[in-house]
Amino acid sequence: MVLAVCVGNSSLVSMELRWARRRKSDNAASALPWSIPIYISTLKKDINLEELRNLYSLCNHSSNRLSEYGSNVEKIVDMKKLRVAISRSDVVVSVFCKPRHADVDDAVLYSEENLSSSLYHSEFGRQNKDESSLGDLFQNVLPLTPSNGQLVGFGRAYSDYGLTASIHDLMVLPSLQRMGIGKLIVNRIVRLLTSRDIYDIAALCFEDERPFFKACGFGDDRMGSTTMMFTKSLEA
């Protein structure tokens, strides 16, 4: 676990609709849509705690770094504690997309239907179209909002409201990684904090996450500090 710091300044809105795009060099995701609409919110009321806990599990992300529990996040992320943590976080950023874009199988089908006219006119394409329910069609034309979208990205930060802040629990659904969603979350958190004149911002991250945070403008602490964690065993 390491610490990084960043400096910046900008004001922003609490809700925004953006497009997330895959890298053209990302061959592994070539069958998936190259771009999808996403909804970014900094409002706590838009967070569904059940969806958030599910995101912890899907991202194999633990809020309690105990090696003996491995990836069993269900045991670690207590709903009551999660509710308190979110309520006391100074900045939260949530990212939503249409559920069909978050599901890998549906996303592949969506991409094939839109990028291949021959498939659309094939027997399989016609059957797929005929079997689509009216409810599915209605959901597809509705504007994307937190109420009809799926939580696919999240990040939060604590601050002392004066000097320092720290970023925690940055997560993006694995099937939607490498689309710039994580960077959007970090940038939004940093801009919100610096708009409050807080410029000493730390990121709690693993060693393999250092390149990502460096790409977001973070670097080693000039004071040479590192992160040490005190964690009490859950069985104690």
Instruction: Render pLDDT for 61-106 as a digit per residue (tens, 0 to 9).
Output: 876 654 444 444 445 678 999 999 999 999 999 999 999 888 755 4
Judged against a pLDDT cut of 70, whether residue 9 lies above it is answered with no
Beta bridge mates, 17: 39
Phi-psi region of 54 (alpha: psi -120 to 50; beta: other; left: phi over 0): alpha
This prediction's pTM: 0.75
> For residues 91 and 42, is the Cβ–Cβ distance under 8 A?
yes
Judged against a pLDDT cut of 60, whether residue 135 lies above it is answered with no
- Structure confidence at residue 139 as a pLDDT band (50, 70, 90): low
Q: Which domains does the chain have, with CATH numbers?
A: 15-21+34-103+140-216 (3.40.630.30)
- Structure confidence at residue 22 as a pLDDT band (50, 70, 90): confident
CA angle, residues 15, 144, 107, in degrees to nearest 5: 125
164-172: strand order across its sheet:
15-21, 35-41, 91-97, 150-159, 164-172, 200-203, 4-6, 219-220
Judged against a pLDDT cut of 80, whether residue 127 lies above it is answered with no
| CA 220 to mean position of chain CA atoms | 24
pLDDT of residue 196: 93
Task: Collect all residues with Cβ–Cβ distance below 8 Å to 21 and sequence separation of at least 6.
Answer: 34, 35, 179, 180
The two structure tokens encoding residue 200? 């000493």
The two structure tokens encoding residue 179? 């689309």
Least confident of 1-5, 35-39, 157-161, 198-202: 1-5
